[in-house]
Structure 1
């Protein structure tokens, strides 16, 4: 499955960003950022599911007899905690419907009812679910990276205009 930002952005990116008025350019950046939020949400949920599946596979490889999935969650999910640096500002946004659709695809790999009892899932099913989840996470990450490049182009255009003397009124809008 290949996920493209264009699939969830209803309008096409303008060919010439320099020709756009400042308010239109800022609106375009905001729209791209909203789509990025959806991809970010879907990637985080997918990564959490993948971490959980991989922890169960590792538990089996190591011969650990502890089958408490819930108890192992802190260590399984703690592998991708943000490193040093400033945290991103919090946003109280509901994920877009299309992001929920991406996340729902995970349930096709292994149902949510089985996530709490992974020790009962046969190894082949678990391995396939982890592989498919990994592929989905990769696709989402690639789409998100492509979207970041688009956001960066818009941001660069905005910065260029401010450096060239965009008025204070434009900065405050």
Structure 2
């Protein structure tokens, strides 16, 4: 026995952890109430991808938004791969910062910002504003890293606007 017999498996037999997850994608104990997972492999039009990802970001679920972007990069045209991968990295960066992993969050935010840099603003995405949001959040979560750990960020309050402005909505 190699220990894989007891692993959770999906319908195709691939190893897939069936533990419930919280809104930030962290595994919870078996039997706990969790957040519904995003279905994998969904092909959406770009506007649908952006709308679903924005809904998840606004709900404080950036990990789940990352999965929506992952579907877009896997099913979309090759020339858009960097755009969708960069947006996924921004969502995962926010996820890490919300989990309290500020260093990892900042690295992913900067990596995602670099990946979408220089791209036109397709589908109404304000690439420059998103880059500015990511760079400012990365700087803020690491500003006091040498003195004291910054607290986790609030993923709802920090959710970016994917179209028309980049930064969080302020009332």
TM-score (structure 2 length as normaliser): 0.28
Which structure's relative contact order is higher, taking Cα pairs within 8 Å and 6+ residues apart? 1
TM-score (structure 1 length as normaliser): 0.28
